[in-house]
């Protein structure tokens, strides 16, 4: 369904990792924006989100797994695996890192978009 939507010509956005979802989907994007946040802030936000959404503390095992992202957990996602995956994409990749406001992220994204090659329009 996602591939059909992306190929329909309509504008679409997908958030989250699609690593290992299959080449057809992974290579169907016009642009990838990779957001990175320091581990301490990331874990703090995961804890806050769990409390706000579910009214309970986050599972310690999940937090331990999530805290290993930068150094590479034995299974699942890691920064190194994502960096490798990003290097294999055929579309442009924009990387935005740091504890920025939405406005600051949008400014970085806008600046990066202006630097991308313009698509060739067929006539």
Instruction: Judge whether 95 lies within some domain.
Output: yes
pLDDT digits (tens, 9 = 90+) for 25-66: 898 888 899 999 999 999 999 999 999 999 999 999 989 988
pLDDT digits (tens, 9 = 90+) for 92-123: 999 999 999 999 999 999 998 888 877 655 54
More confident residue, 116 or 86: 86
Which among 110, 84, 67 has a CA at the least distance from the CA of 20?
A: 84
The answer to the question of residue 74 being in a domain is yes
Query: Does 71 reside within a domain?
Result: yes
**Does any domain span residue 49?**
yes
The count of domains in the chain is: 1
| Inter-CA distances, 37 with 17, 19, 90, Å | 15, 18, 24
Report if residue 56 sits inside a domain.
Answer: yes
pTM for this model (two decimals): 0.81
User: What is the distance between the alpha carbons of residues 103 and 121, in angstroms, rounded to a whole number?
Assistant: 30
- 123 lies in some domain: no
For residue 29, what are its two tokens?
């994007």
Domain that residue 41 falls in: 23-106
Residue 52, in any domain of the structure? yes
């Amino acid at each position: 369904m996602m591939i059909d939507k992306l190929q329909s010509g309509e504008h679409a956005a997908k958030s989250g990792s699609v690593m290992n979802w299959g080449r057809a989907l992974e290579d169907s994007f016009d642009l990838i924006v990779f957001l990175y946040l320091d581990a301490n802030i990331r874990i703090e936000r995961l804890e806050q989100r769990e409390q706000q959404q579910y009214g309970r503390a986050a599972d310690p095992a999940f937090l331990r797994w999530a805290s290993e992202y930068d150094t590479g957990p034995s299974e699942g996602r890691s920064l190194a695996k994502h960096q490798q995956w990003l290097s294999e994409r055929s579309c442009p990749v924009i990387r935005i890192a740091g504890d920025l406001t939405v406005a600051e992220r949008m400014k970085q994204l806008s600046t990066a978009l202006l630097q991308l090659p313009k698509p060739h329009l067929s006539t």
